[in-house]
Amino acid sequence: MKKGLIMGVLAAALYGAVAMAQVGYLYPGFAEVHEPLNLPQDNWTWFPDQALAGSLVDGTVRLLGVEELRRVWRGGAVTFFYQGGGAAELAYLTRNLGYGLYYDLDVDGDKLVGWAKVNNRLDKALRFERITFVAGEVPLRAGSAPVMRKEAARAYDEMALAAPAPAPVYGGSGGGVFRYVLAGPPPFEPGVTEIPFVRKKVEPVYTWSYQGGFVRGGRVSFNRGYTFTAPAALAGGLVNLRDGGVLLGQAGMSDSASGDKVQLWLGRDPEGWAERRVQVLKDTRKEKAYRVTTVLRDRRDKPVRIELAESFSADEVSLSLPAKARRTPRGYRLELTLAPGAEYNFIYTVTLRY
């Protein structure tokens, strides 16, 4: 009991001495950390440990809150020269802290949960007052800062680790990136810590899709997937899709703004096909005309959304389409939803001139 108490006090003392109020901006593969400081007058020397020093991104170390005059990198340390002193922040980018993300989508429960996997390779536990997950394309060139040092510190706070993590909130977008802000996050031990950064109710609709050239054969085969409207800004990532606890597959999702149409594709559906009948109306070297009937049928016990788009290769394409379909530059697009067991006969004529 006494040993555990001593360890807890030591851990709390270490955290208090290091960065109780530091904030972090986590990106896929790197992070920017802001550590609060109380600077002496005119100059201060920083001794980063080896894990941090070897991972610093060259050109990103700076002091905030004072006007810097110069920096000197020597012997595993950095000496800053500046005007004044007092409250300030040390800011730097490190490649040994970052995150990846993925999603779980329960299509039967209409629930989407996004998980951030925080990867800490800095050989010590980290505490933050606030972190911001930044998603989007953020280019970072190669190169490390010119300093190395063979020191590392590590401590554990078991009570804090057992506490539930608060939920991040969407922090807005700007400059082409999304931001999710988490206040009072749990400590990040060396290794990987997973935190949910978004929980949203969605309405995924089972979808069949064909997008390609003119199908002359007796069957149009569909890819299967799910379609829903983004309930918030969603950073792109891998999505695990499950129905009734059964894994349906994994799909990639691109960055989506709130209100965007999100589509997740899982490959072919054995039941996802439509009967196709093609009647030749004209067949000459310069001109060909067809009457095309496509029998769309929902063979499932749930509704299915169908997206059918064909394009035609010819110098000139003339189409006569029903009201449900719309013209595209080289063909048409049909979108509709069928109830279980329902059937729709989609009929059009096309004339191709060469």
First to last CA, the chain: 88
Kindly tell me if the per-residue pLDDT of 144 is higher than 70: no
Q: Is the pLDDT of residue 312 over 90?
A: yes
Q: Give the pLDDT of residue 163.
A: 41
In angstroms, rounded to a whole number, what is the distance separating the alpha carbons of residues 24 and 335?
Answer: 45
Higher-pLDDT residue of 146 and 84 is 84
- pTM: predicted TM-score of the whole model, two decimal places: 0.75
pLDDT tens-digit map of 30-39? 999 999 999 9
Q: What is the mean pLDDT of residues 153-177?
A: 48
What is the band of 106 on the pLDDT scale with cuts at 50, 70, 90?
Answer: very high
Q: Identify whether the C-beta of residue 58 lies closer than 8 Å to the C-beta of residue 143.
A: yes
Per-residue three-class SS string for 243-280: ECCEEEEEEEECCECCCCEEEEEEEEEEEEEEEEEEEE
Tokens 């595209």 sit at which residue? 328
Mean local confidence (pLDDT), 60-74: 95
**242-270 confidence digits (pLDDT tens):** 998 899 999 999 888 889 999 999 999 98
The residue behind tokens 């989007």 is: 136
Domain boundaries of the chain, sorted by first residue: 2-200, 205-353
The pLDDT of residue 143 is 55
